[in-house]
Amino acid sequence: MAETVLDARALRKSFGAHLVLDDVDLAVEAGSIVGLLGPNGSGKSTLLNVLTGFLAADGGQVSLRGSSVGALPPSSIARLGLVRTFQLPRMPSRMSVREVLLAANRAQGGLFDALVGRPTDTARTDDLLEQLKLAPVADQPASAISGGQKKLLSIAAALANRPSVLCLDEPTAGVHPSLREHIVAMLKRANAGGVTLLIVEHDMGFVRNLCRRCVVLDRGKLIADCPPRELTEHPRVVEAYLGRKVARPVVEVPA
């Protein structure tokens, strides 16, 4: 049994009267790949936002490797190794793709480093650009590339950040199938290198391929925690996706 890196207890979050996270408990083991599923609006992105400090929870706690991070600002949480991507990545218009990727790795990025002219490690940046087929647009403004490319860039940037736990919000939505393979391969490699992954995803093929454990959110409640192949049998999951009165468990999850 591996150690728990990310541990959320009794998380609650509501927007006005709308309860979006309802007592969510989630423990993620070091080195694992966990899929986070659920219908649209079930609270997946909100959960990522709360875990990574972008939203303050109304109740509950989050700890990273045993120490509580609930009160920290998002940048401090990222510096502790818990890094995330956004569902709709927004990119700067007056920075090139390469510059965004360079900036994503904070090493030697301080004021002092700049004044003494310390060089930065560019080999890894070039490598990532190559791997994600972003090399041809490397010098374009980052806001000018396509939606799918932005998605790739945000994943590459998150990896360049050298996280220990990486939360991805729908990494393959809008990405061409051939590139999905690349993403899967890259994430597998990162995982083999020790990165724990928590992935929000609607694509079941992707989830089956990558995750050995899935958790399902429905209307803010965690309703299932099982291997992906058991999802189709799980009565509450079927009910959440297809409504109450369906007898036959077919799961082709809506994208």
Ligand X SMILES: Nc1ncnc2c1ncn2[C@@H]1O[C@H](COP(=O)(O)OP(=O)(O)OP(=O)(O)O)[C@@H](O)[C@H]1O
Q: What's the angle, vertex CA 31, arms to CA 202 and CA 212, rounded to 5?
A: 40
- Coil/strand/helix, residue 86: coil
Instruction: Report, in Å, the least distance between residue 191 CB and other proteins.
Output: 20
Q: Of the candidates 25, 59, 71, 79, which one interacts with other proteins according to CB under 8 A?
A: 79
Q: Are 26 and 57 in contact (CB under 8 A)?
A: no
Amino acid at 253: V
Q: Which of residues 93-122 bind other proteins (CB under 8 A)?
A: 93-96, 98-100, 102-104, 106, 108-111, 113-115, 117-122
Q: Which of residues 159-178 bind other proteins (CB under 8 A)?
A: 161
Strands (E), the chain: 4-15, 18-29, 33-37, 59-64, 67-68, 82-84, 165-169, 196-200, 213-218, 221-226
- Choose between 51 and 138: whose C-beta lies nearer to ligand X: 51
231, 215, 233: which is closest to 223 by C-alpha? 215
Q: Which of residues 26-45 bind ligand X (CB under 6 A)?
A: 38, 40-45
Instruction: Report, in Å, the least distance between residue 224 CB and Mg ion.
Output: 18
Instruction: Report, in Å, the least distance between residue 15 CB and ligand X.
Output: 3
6, 13, 81, 76: which is closest to 44 by C-alpha? 13
Strand order across the 4-15 sheet: 18-29, 4-15, 59-64, 67-68
Instruction: Report, in Å, the least distance between residue 153 CB and ligand X.
Output: 20
Binding mask of the shown chain, residues 193 to 232, with x at each position contacting other proteins by CB under 8 A: ----------------------------------------
Point out which span in 86-94, 184-192, 210-218, 238-246 binds other proteins (CB under 8 A).
86-94
Number of residues binding to ligand X, judged by CB under 6 A: 11
Counting contacts by CB under 8 A, is residue 74 touching other proteins?
A: yes
Sequence-ordered list of residues with C-beta below 8 angstroms from that of 128, at least 6 positions apart, any chain: 101, 134, 156, 159, 160
Euclidean distance between CA atoms 195 and 188, whole angstroms: 9
Q: Which residues bind other proteins (CB under 8 A)?
A: 49, 52, 54-56, 73-76, 78-79, 83-86, 89-96, 98-100, 102-104, 106, 108-111, 113-115, 117-122, 125, 139-141, 157-158, 161
Q: Which residues bind ligand X (CB under 6 A)?
A: 15, 20, 38, 40-46, 87
